[in-house]
């Protein structure tokens, strides 16, 4: 998403007359002619002002104020290259006027000389250390040349001089957000909104930062932005994303449909609407919107990917060619976009049973998405979980809320968690709310709650009864908000919650756990061929997937021995082979009466926002079984890692 105007020059180009000094004629008050020319400039009559300044300079060529003023009029007319010459001559006459230096810097910036502009601004603040506009523009320019450290220092200097400087609060918040200092960024943006609640730039940037953790608040902020800036397409797109994350897909759909009425030829809006329709199960409309996006913009990477993902097993003969054409012109694309195209090509080639080329495409995609994976760090983290959550830890009564509402569906990604939740949420007394980041967020926040530097899982040792109950009640309220008041069981299917089971048992001792398992080769291959939107550094190399899978298995073995919560294991292959038997076991495990609707999860109309959003709209099928056999020739590194035979670092 493009941002609002994150950085804006102050554009304080006004003349600032200096009181006269009897000791030097160079400090005399501007003449009537210069004042008249300046008045024309302030009225926006730049051509007339230029001519007036030039007329005066023909008689007084050394007048610094006239030289500076003529430079201002030229800059205002887009002739900044000419303007620099006039202002430099003014500075030669009056080198200690800091606002001359500022305006010269703005002209230099306008002709793409940011380094020279910064050097000039340093002169301005040396002359006048409290010159806020100079510090601010120096921060802006430092950010533009990717000098984040200097930009931050300059913004902080502005805020030292003027703590309520809104543009600096906004820009510094945005800068810190881009360097993963989210909490500081949020604090600055909230401070800006305390000072001026209708500050749209800060509303937009705050919404963008908090969207994952607080989608409801983000959606509310963005609603204000689009009311004030109805032509700002990206604000509609971000608002729809926030609404969808807040489990209000119909509202997201309405926002995008309204935006398309105003901007019918905006390809991104059609792509986003298609994605919402896909999550709602309206595959026909989704495909139509993706196709419309590509028609408007043949290089619309996200629509190409989403269409391939949606129709990979259906007839769409020209789509692969369009994707390959986009890849052949990928020089201007970022790595993430290139990866999407390779994933899309892989889906289509696999559907065409061209497994060699398909695997090559998946490999290219993962190489582009590659992130560092630290084997030792992963092992140490999993070991620390086992060290903290021992039988002794669970010997004391849990401190949270024993409500039986929550069900945690977990396991490795791509192990059948979405299908299981779709089955359970087909029961009239159950509901699913998708993948909540809530427990990951709380695990990360425990240190700040205790005001210590102790990180999870060690921070879980110190949680008080009051905090445990408050956190538990907050989570239960979020489940109810998303899943409704009628359900007896509401599931959270964040697969990675297997690392949080100790904290879950402490906060929610009445919860139940469904552990989804699938053939290790099929699970890891499915991860390797999926485009995950989150940060999963282990997912981009087969060796790393095999190592992580072993760590996960070891931790689940630990939980089976010490966890006080009941765990029901669902083996994906058995579920596919004998759905009714396995589904009856799940329903009985949750103490719910049998309901035949659970046998037809594809008829469930709930929104699904995961990589399985297409598959769960189809009847339970067997074609995903033994998928790894198609790619047997390429899975040697994965087999070795699963057997503990390789170093995955």
pLDDT one-digit tens code per residue, 473-495:
999 999 998 898 999 999 999 99
Average pLDDT over residues 36-49: 90
pLDDT one-digit tens code per residue, 544-559:
999 999 999 999 999 9
pLDDT computed for residue 528 by the predictor: 95
pLDDT one-digit tens code per residue, 493-516:
999 999 999 999 999 999 999 999
What Cα–Cα distance (Å) separates residue 95 from each residue in 24, 64, 107, 121, 327? 14, 10, 17, 13, 54
**Paired tokens of 95:** 């080198």
Q: How confident is the model at residue 3 (pLDDT cuts 50, 70, 90)?
A: very low
Q: Is 510 exposed, middle or buried (0-12, 13-18, 19+ CB in 10 A)?
A: middle
pLDDT computed for residue 10 by the predictor: 31
The residues with which 492 forms a beta bridge, in sequence order, are: 408
Average pLDDT over residues 414-421: 92
For 136, list phi and psi in degrees, rounded to 5. -65, -50
Reduce the DSSP state of residue 604 to 3 states and report it.
coil
The residues with which 489 forms a beta bridge, in sequence order, are: 430
Q: 283-296 and 301-311 are packed helices; what angle lies between their axes, rounded to 10 degrees? A: 150
Which secondary-structure segment (H or E) carries 410? strand 406-411
Average pLDDT over residues 109-120: 94
Average pLDDT over residues 147-154: 95
Cα–Cα distance, 585 to 602 (Å, whole number): 19
Q: What percent of the chain has pLDDT over 90?
A: 71
pLDDT at 4 over 60: no
pTM metric for this prediction:
0.80
**Paired tokens of 289:** 């919107």
pLDDT computed for residue 621 by the predictor: 54
Q: How confident is the model at residue 619 (pLDDT cuts 50, 70, 90)?
A: low
pLDDT computed for residue 26 by the predictor: 40
pLDDT at 238 over 60: yes
> Chain-wide mean pLDDT for the chain?
88
pLDDT at 649 over 60: no
Cα–Cα distance, 189 to 172 (Å, whole number): 9
Helices (H), strands (E): how many in the chain?
31, 5
Exposure string over 99-121, b if 16+ CB within 10 A, otherwise e: bbbbbbbbbbbbbebbebbbebb
Cα–Cα distance, 162 to 168 (Å, whole number): 9
pLDDT computed for residue 137 by the predictor: 95
β-strands 406-411, 512-517 pairing: parallel
Q: How confident is the model at residue 330 (pLDDT cuts 50, 70, 90)?
A: confident
C-beta separation of 274 from 289 below 8 A: yes
Whether omega for the bond prior to residue 457 falls within 30 degrees of 0, making it cis, is yes
pLDDT computed for residue 309 by the predictor: 87
pLDDT computed for residue 319 by the predictor: 92
Cα–Cα distance, 387 to 400 (Å, whole number): 21
- How crowded is residue 534: how many other Cβ atoms within 10 Å of its Cβ? 11
């Amino acid at each position: 998403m493009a941002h609002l105007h994150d950085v804006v020059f102050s554009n304080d180009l006004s003349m600032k007359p200096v009181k006269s000094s009897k000791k030097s004629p160079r400090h005399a008050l501007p003449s009537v002619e210069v004042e008249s020319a300046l008045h024309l400039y302030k009225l926006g009559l730049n051509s007339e002002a230029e001519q007036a300044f030039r007329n005066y300079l023909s008689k007084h060529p050394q007048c610094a104020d006239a030289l500076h003023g003529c430079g201002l009029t030229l800059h205002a007319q887009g002739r900044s290259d000419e303007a620099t010459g006039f202002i430099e001559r003014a500075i030669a006459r009056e080198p200690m006027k800091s606002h001359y230096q500022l305006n010269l810097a703005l002209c230099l910036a306008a002709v793409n000389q940011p380094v020279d502009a910064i050097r000039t601004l340093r002169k301005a603040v040396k002359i006048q250390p409290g010159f806020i506009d100079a510090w601010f523009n120096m921060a802006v320019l430092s950010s533009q040349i990717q000098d984040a450290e200097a930009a931050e220092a300059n913004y902080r200097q502005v805020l030292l001089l003027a703590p309520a400087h809104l543009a600096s609060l906004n820009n510094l918040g945005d800068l810190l957000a881009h360097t993963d200092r989210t909490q500081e960024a949020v604090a600055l943006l909230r401070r800006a909104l305390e000072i001026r609640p209708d500050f749209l730039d800060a509303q937009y940037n705050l919404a963008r930062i908090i969207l994952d953790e607080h989608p409801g608040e983000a959606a509310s902020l963005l609603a204000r932005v689009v009311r004030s800036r109805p032509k700002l397409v990206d604000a509609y797109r971000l608002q729809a994303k926030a609404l969808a994350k807040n489990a209000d897909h119909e509202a997201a759909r309405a926002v995008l449909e309204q935006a398309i009425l105003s901007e019918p030829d905006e390809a991104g809006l059609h792509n986003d609407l298609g994605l919402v329709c896909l999550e709602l199960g309206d595959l026909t409309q989704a495909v139509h919107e993706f196709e419309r996006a590509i028609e408007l913009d043949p290089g619309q990477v996200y629509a190409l990917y989403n269409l391939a993902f949606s129709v990979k097993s259906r007839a769409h003969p020209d789509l692969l060619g369009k994707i390959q054409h986009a890849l052949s012109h990928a020089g201007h694309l970022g790595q993430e976009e290139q990866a999407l195209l390779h994933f899309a090509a892989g889906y289509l080639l696999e559907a065409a049973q061209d497994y060699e080329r398909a695997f090559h495409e998946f490999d290219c995609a993962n190489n582009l998405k590659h992130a560092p994976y630290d084997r030792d760090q992963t092992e140490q983290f999993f070991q620390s979980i086992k060290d903290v959550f021992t039988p002794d830890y669970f010997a004391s009564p849990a401190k949270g809320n024993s409500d039986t509402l929550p069900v945690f569906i977990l396991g490795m990604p791509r192990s059948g968690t979405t299908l299981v939740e779709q089955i359970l949420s087909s029961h009239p007394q159950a509901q699913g709310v998708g993948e909540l980041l809530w427990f990951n967020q709380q695990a990360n926040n425990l240190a700040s709650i205790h005001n210590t530097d102790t990180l999870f899982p060690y921070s879980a040792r110190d949680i008080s009864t009051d905090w445990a109950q408050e956190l538990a009640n907050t989570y239960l309220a979020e489940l109810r908000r998303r899943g409704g008041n009628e359900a007896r069981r509401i599931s959270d299917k964040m697969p990675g919650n297997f690392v949080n089971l100790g904290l879950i048992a402490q906060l929610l001792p009445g919860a139940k756990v469904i552990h989804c398992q699938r053939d290790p080769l099929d699970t890891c291959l499915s991860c390797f061929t999926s485009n995950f939107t989150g940060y999963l550094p282990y997912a981009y190399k087969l060796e790393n997937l095999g190592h992580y899978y072993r760590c996960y298995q070891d931790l689940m073995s630990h939980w089976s021995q010490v966890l006080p919560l009941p765990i029901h294991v669902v083996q994906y292959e058995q579920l596919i082979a004998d759905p009714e038997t396995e589904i009856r076991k799940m329903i009985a495990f949750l103490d719910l009466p049998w309901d035949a609707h659970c046998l037809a999860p594809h008829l469930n109309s709930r929104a699904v926002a995961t990589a399985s959003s297409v598959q769960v709209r189809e009847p339970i099928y067997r074609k995903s079984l033994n998928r790894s056999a198609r790619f047997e020739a390429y899975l040697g590194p994965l087999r070795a890692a699963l057997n503990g035979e390789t170093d995955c670092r």
